[in-house]
A = this chain, B = another copy of it.
Amino acid sequence: MFSKACEYGIKASIFIALSSYKGVRVSLKGIAKEINSPEAFTAKILQDLVRHDVINSIKGAHGGFEIEKTLISSIKLSHIVNAIDGDSIYSGCGLGLDTCDEDHPCPVHHKFKSVREELKFMLENTNLEELALNIKSGASFLKM
């Protein structure tokens, strides 16, 4: 469904949000360990998220990644997914046609419509705060 890059990006963002609530900055190493991802590859994805203003990075000793506390609840999954995978997951044609719309639909266009819309709605209405709180309370997990 999502690319590996996007999976890592989402998990990393949640962990960074969680730490930012605690007021602690996390390092690449700490993130990769926590979300069980390859360190160097994760670095690339984090850079991408920094460029897209999803997270902040602080260079140098005692540096790391963080998200401004007040912004955590306004960051949606769609921001992360868009930064990494683009919006093709819910805007592209399910069968890869170049033009696929109401006037010229692919065979599954209408069948997929509600799935795509529900996915889009979900991504646009799920924010980092709730995801982080669920990790904190032990209601969900970042690895295994």
Q: Which residues of A contact B (CB under 8 A)?
A: 1-2, 4, 7, 10-11, 14, 77, 89, 92, 94-99, 104-109, 111-112, 114-115, 118-119, 122, 126, 131, 134-135, 139-144
Residue among B2, B143, B144 making CB contact with A94, cutoff 8 Å: B2
Question: Which among A92, A95, A122 has the greatest number of chain B C-beta atoms within 10 A?
Answer: A95
Known: A106-B140, A144-B104. A10 touches B95 (CB 8 A): yes
Q: How far is the CB of A38 from chain B (nearest CB, A)?
A: 12
The complex places the Cα of A52 from the Cα of B106 at a distance, in Å, of: 24
The complex places the Cα of A140 from the Cα of B98 at a distance, in Å, of: 14
A95 nearest CB neighbor, chain B only: B7
Q: How far is the CB of A122 from chain B (nearest CB, A)?
A: 5
Q: How far is the CB of A78 from chain B (nearest CB, A)?
A: 12
Is B107 within 8 A of A115, CB to CB? no
Contacts of A14 in B (CB 8 A): 107
Is A97 within 8 A of B144, CB to CB? yes
Known: A11-B95, A95-B11, A144-B99. A114 touches B118 (CB 8 A): yes
Contacts A105-B140, A107-B141, A111-B126 known; list 6 others, CB within 8 Å: A7-B96, A104-B141, A105-B141, A106-B140, A107-B135, A114-B118
